[in-house]
């Protein structure tokens, strides 16, 4: 019987996609994937270090594996991702039953280690990593993630990513083109281009190819019906990109544009490189050029020094802009980042109050927006049966909203027109027309 692996993934889309690469490598090495952690001969935890909560979750997960390893000394435990990169050797000391540790730039090492090495670690810089083609075992068959760049150079004062993912590097356009073409040939209909800051794509390339150019090149690929991308940094969102989004029909009418805060003082302390005025201007341009565009965002409350007045600016921004959806977080102190040294840290209770207020406000706004779609006919790319409501099929609108409807299994992978009947808080219910 072939050996089995199980992967547990925390964190952002890059990590989700990295796990697909880890699964690709293990499958190529003859392992089979299992959903049941107890059946696994290899367990990989792909970690996230973005907030303290994510870190704690990982430690409690890892703690539970100790017993399993005692019962089955052959079990291999690997720690990957952003905590692996930041903590390194320390993890071996605290958790001696861990076998392998590797960071996001060293996923390929697993291939050499898996059947030969007892214990190994790889955290070194890997400047060639973005040129590698790793096997990928993808989760779905309709839409796929594609990395277009790695790392981040922005050093926002609160953020660990530049320390865990290294310097920004863009993949050559021809490699991305080849991958997307291959996906189209396999029947994928949608791609999401991934990078911490996709708008600055191409900076280190000799190809004279920027992000809008890349969209245009990929747009030519037959079979791909929809193109998405995350994440966009407001400071690098160019007029050219807005024009190309408007003119390229496959590029979906949705942008995730993290605002983080509404106060200029806080934005400066965060080192974000824009003011609320700049941000609002970009939103206005996007909405003018691309009617119906959905705009989603990330917000941090309780950044060091955030006063009540600053927080009110964030509330005002959310009301003024009316986002389609937000991810809101309490500021979480990350060792090694600049924000740790800032004065006037906000107490936990205030942070919680601010978060609750923002979430309540946004629930209303999102619901109102969804409500506005009732009666409209929208194009849905069908992904398959709904996991939460297995009687229905599920898919997303071009604006990235979830739509559930009664349909057939055969609709999977198809674009279907759906009339929205009822808006719910987190999804839409519709009927085929």
Q: Do 149 and 195 form a contact (C-beta atoms < 8 A)?
A: yes
Of residues 321 through 340, those in contact with ligand SAH by CB under 6 A are: 329, 331-332, 334
The neighbour count for residue 97, using CB atoms within 10 Å, is 15
Quick one: what does residue 169 bind among ligand SF4, ligand SAH, ligand F3S, none, with the CB cut-off 5 to 8 Å set by partner type? Answer: none
End-to-end CA distance of the chain: 48
| Contact call for residue 16 and ligand F3S (CB under 6 A) | no
CB of 21 to ligand F3S, least distance (A): 14
Q: Do 98 and 79 form a contact (C-beta atoms < 8 A)?
A: yes
Measure CA 80 to chain center. 17
Quick one: what does residue 82 bind among ligand SAH, ligand SF4, ligand F3S, none, with the CB cut-off 5 to 8 Å set by partner type? Answer: ligand F3S
What does DSSP say about strands 100-102 and 120-122: parallel, antiparallel, or unpaired?
parallel
Nearer to ligand SAH, 163 or 367 (CB): 163
| Contact call for residue 258 and ligand F3S (CB under 6 A) | no
CB of 15 to ligand F3S, least distance (A): 4
**Residues 112, 118, 119, CA angle at the centre, nearest 5°?**
85
Residue 344 CA to residue 373 CA, distance in Å, equals 43
Name, in order, each residue with C-beta under 8 angstroms of 118's C-beta and a sequence gap of 6 or more: 99
| Contact call for residue 160 and ligand F3S (CB under 6 A) | yes
| Contact call for residue 298 and ligand SAH (CB under 6 A) | yes
Left (φ > 0), alpha (ψ -120 to 50) or beta: where does 354 sit? Answer: alpha
Residues 298-337: x where in contact with ligand F3S by CB under 6 A, - otherwise, as a string: ----------------------------------------
Question: The tokens 């409209």 sit on which residue?
Answer: 376
Q: Maximum distance among all alpha carbons in the chain?
A: 63
| Contact call for residue 231 and ligand SAH (CB under 6 A) | yes
Of residues 151 through 190, those in contact with ligand SAH by CB under 6 A are: 158-159, 161
In the complex, the residues that contact ligand SAH under the rule CB under 6 A are 50-51, 158-159, 161, 196-197, 231, 233, 258, 260, 298, 300, 329, 331-332, 334
In the complex, the residues that contact ligand F3S under the rule CB under 6 A are 11-12, 14-15, 48-50, 81-82, 160-161, 164-165
């Amino acid at each position: 019987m072939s050996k089995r692996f199980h992967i547990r993934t925390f964190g952002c889309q890059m990590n989700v996609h990295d796990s697909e690469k880890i699964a690709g490598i293990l499958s190529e090495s003859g392992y089979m994937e299992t959903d049941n952690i107890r059946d696994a001969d290899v367990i990989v935890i792909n970690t996230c270090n973005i907030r303290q909560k994510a870190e704690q979750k990982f430690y409690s997960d890892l703690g539970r594996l100790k017993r399993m390893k005692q019962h089955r000394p052959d079990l291999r435990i690997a720690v990957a991702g952003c905590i692996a990169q930041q903590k390194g050797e320390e993890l071996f000391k605290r958790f001696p039953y861990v076998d392998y540790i590797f960071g996001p730039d060293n996923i390929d090492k697993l291939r050499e280690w898996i059947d030969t090495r007892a214990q190994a670690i790889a955290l070194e810089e890997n400047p060639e990593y973005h040129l590698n083609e790793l096997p990928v075992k993808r989760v779905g068959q309709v839409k796929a993630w594609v990395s277009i760049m790695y790392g981040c150079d922005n050093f926002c004062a609160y953020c660990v990513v530049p320390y865990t993912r290294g310097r920004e590097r863009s993949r050559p356009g021809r490699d991305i083109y080849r991958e997307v073409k291959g996906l189209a040939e396999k029947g994928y209909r949608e791609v999401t281009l991934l990078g911490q800051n996709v708008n600055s794509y191409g900076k280190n390339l000799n190809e004279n190819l920027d992000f809008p150019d890349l969209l245009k090149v990929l747009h030519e690929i037959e079979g791909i019906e929809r193109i998405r991308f995350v994440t966009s940094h407001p400071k690098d969102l160019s007029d050219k990109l807005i024009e190309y989004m408007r003119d390229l029909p496959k590029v979906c009418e949705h942008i995730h544009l993290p605002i983080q805060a509404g106060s200029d003082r806080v934005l400066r302390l965060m080192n974000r490189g824009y003011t609320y005025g700049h941000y609002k201007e970009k939103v206005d341009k996007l909405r003018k050029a691309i009617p119906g565009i959905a705009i989603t965002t990330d917000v941090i409350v309780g950044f060091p020094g955030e006063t009540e007045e600053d927080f009110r600016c964030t509330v005002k921004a959310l009301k003024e802009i009316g986002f389609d959806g937000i991810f809101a977080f309490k500021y979480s102190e990350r060792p090694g980042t600049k924000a740790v040294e800032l004065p006037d840290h906000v107490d936990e209770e205030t942070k919680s109050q601010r978060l609750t207020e923002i979430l309540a406000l946004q629930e209303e706004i999102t619901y109102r927006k969804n409500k506005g779609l009732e009666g409209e006919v929208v194009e849905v790319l069908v992904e398959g049966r709904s996991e939460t409501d297995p009687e229905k099929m599920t898919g997303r609108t071009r604006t990235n909203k979830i739509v559930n409807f009664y349909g057939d299994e055969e609709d999977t992978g198809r674009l279907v027109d759906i009339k929205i009947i009822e808006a719910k808080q987190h999804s839409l219910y519709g009927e085929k027309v």
